[in-house]
Amino acid sequence: MSANHRYGIQIGLIVTACMGLAACSNMSMSSVNPVNWITPYRVDVIQGNFVSKEQVELLKAGMTRPQVRDLLGTPLVTSLFHADRWDYVFTLKRQGVEPQSFKYTVFFKGDLLERFEGDAMPSEADFIARLDSGRKLGKVPVLQATEEQLKAAAEKTPPAAKPAAVPAPLPSATSYPPLEGAKP
């Protein structure tokens, strides 16, 4: 191989390397960059008390504090300065989705519910749909046995064995030794 030929190959490789570096610097902000394809797994963070639309519809003025607590759960925020106010806050943080936050407040007068207000709460079905990650895990099997399956299972079960003999109880002590020494 001649010196001119080697010199041409070296120049070609240097030019190619420079163009590659220049392209990488332009692509670093792009989603085309393979480095952006690899992201760490971020777990979904669910915090607070989820209050559904169905639960809100069951609230009625005049309910007692225990009734509200049974219906909505223990409030996330209670204040010593606002003893007649309970705040229910719920947040959902997922990878690639803007964090979602819901707030609902109930007000009491004495021990009775006076009024309630807050964000439009999702129904339970809407909430479950929001949790769906899009992964399809396959067909969910039917979790109820048919009559034929119950009969087949009954035929396969062996007859009940005789119970083992129960050992005789140990004789019980009728008197116990004193815990303290004898007093003079």
Measure the CA–CA gap between 17 and 72, rounded to whole angstroms. Answer: 64
**What phi, psi does 7 have (nearest 5°)?**
-65, -40
Burial of 107-130, coded b for 16+ CB within 10 Å and e otherwise, reads: ebeeeebeebeeeebbeeeebeee
Whether residue 126 lies inside any domain: the answer is yes
Whether residue 106 lies inside any domain: the answer is yes
Q: Which residues pair with 94 in a beta bridge?
A: 97
Measure the CA–CA gap between 86 and 77, rounded to whole angstroms. Answer: 6
Whether residue 9 lies inside any domain: the answer is no
Whether residue 81 lies inside any domain: the answer is yes
Whether residue 90 lies inside any domain: the answer is yes
Domain boundaries, position 123: 45-131
Total count of domains within the chain? 1
Q: What is the CATH number of the domain that holds 116?
A: 3.30.1450.10
Whether residue 116 lies inside any domain: the answer is yes
Percent composition of the chain: helix, strand, coil (DSSP 3-state, to 5): 35, 20, 45
Whether residue 157 lies inside any domain: the answer is no
Measure the CA–CA gap between 108 and 83, rounded to whole angstroms. Answer: 8
What is the chain's pLDDT, residue by residue, as a tens digit (184 residues)?
677 777 888 888 888 877 776 666 554 455 566 666 677 777 778 888 888 899 999 999 999 999 999 999 988 777 788 888 999 998 888 877 788 899 999 999 989 999 999 998 888 888 877 776 555 666 767 778 888 988 888 888 776 656 666 666 666 656 666 777 666 5
